Structure 1
């Protein structure tokens, strides 16, 4: 059973990255807009992405003290970015934005899960 992070600083790094991503999502820069438009994600739902990212970041931070919460938040972030990758592949939108943004996070989340929590 996963209780508390073994490598807390790694969990904090993921939380900070997610918070930064959430802040950027408030007023998405051009590359993020291209990404969301490229997969056909409706603009009226962009706010949901901010909520998901902030919730995951909060869960990671709370999970430094509350057993199991960081692992659950990390799995949630992994699922979120997995779905984002699937949306990119389905839409055949696999340019630079896909590799840098989506796959970068899809690489970071499982590393944090395996190294920091398991």
Structure 2
């Protein structure tokens, strides 16, 4: 069992996604600043709350439905591909795009490996 395939990692990331959904719903100032920095339209920001909440549910399902958890990591890899693209398109500073790049790499690797409880 590796860190990438551990159900505990999926659970921790589910909690992170749930917290991020709440932070986007509020919205917290750093998140609002980041979204403004990549010119993400205000009228579509509600989509982030729903997609992050759905991601939390998909990740937490890892022991009951490993295929759904793996699909969720694939969708998160797509999400972070779009985020990296938005940073590039906005000519954002590399340090602002770094978290999106790291999450893209993480979720792509998790998708490739799949969870340990997958049959």
Q: Shared fold by TM > 0.5?
A: yes
Partner of 2:27: 28
Match of 1:109 among 102, 107, 110: 107
CA shift for structure 1 position 111: 4.3
CA shift for structure 1 position 36: 0.7
* More relative contact order, 1 or 2 (CA 8 Å, 6+ apart): 1
Partner of 1:88: 87
Determine if contact 1:7/1:115 at 8 Å carries over to the other structure.
no
Partner of 2:61: 62
Listed as ranges, the matches of 1:6-17 within 5 Å are 6-17=5-16
Indicate the RMSD between aligned Cα atoms, in angstroms.
Answer: 2.2
Q: TM-score, normalised by structure 1?
A: 0.81
Residue 85 of structure 2 is aligned to residue 99 of structure 1:
no
Aligned residues: 113
Gaps of 5+ in 2: none
Gaps of 5+ in 1: none
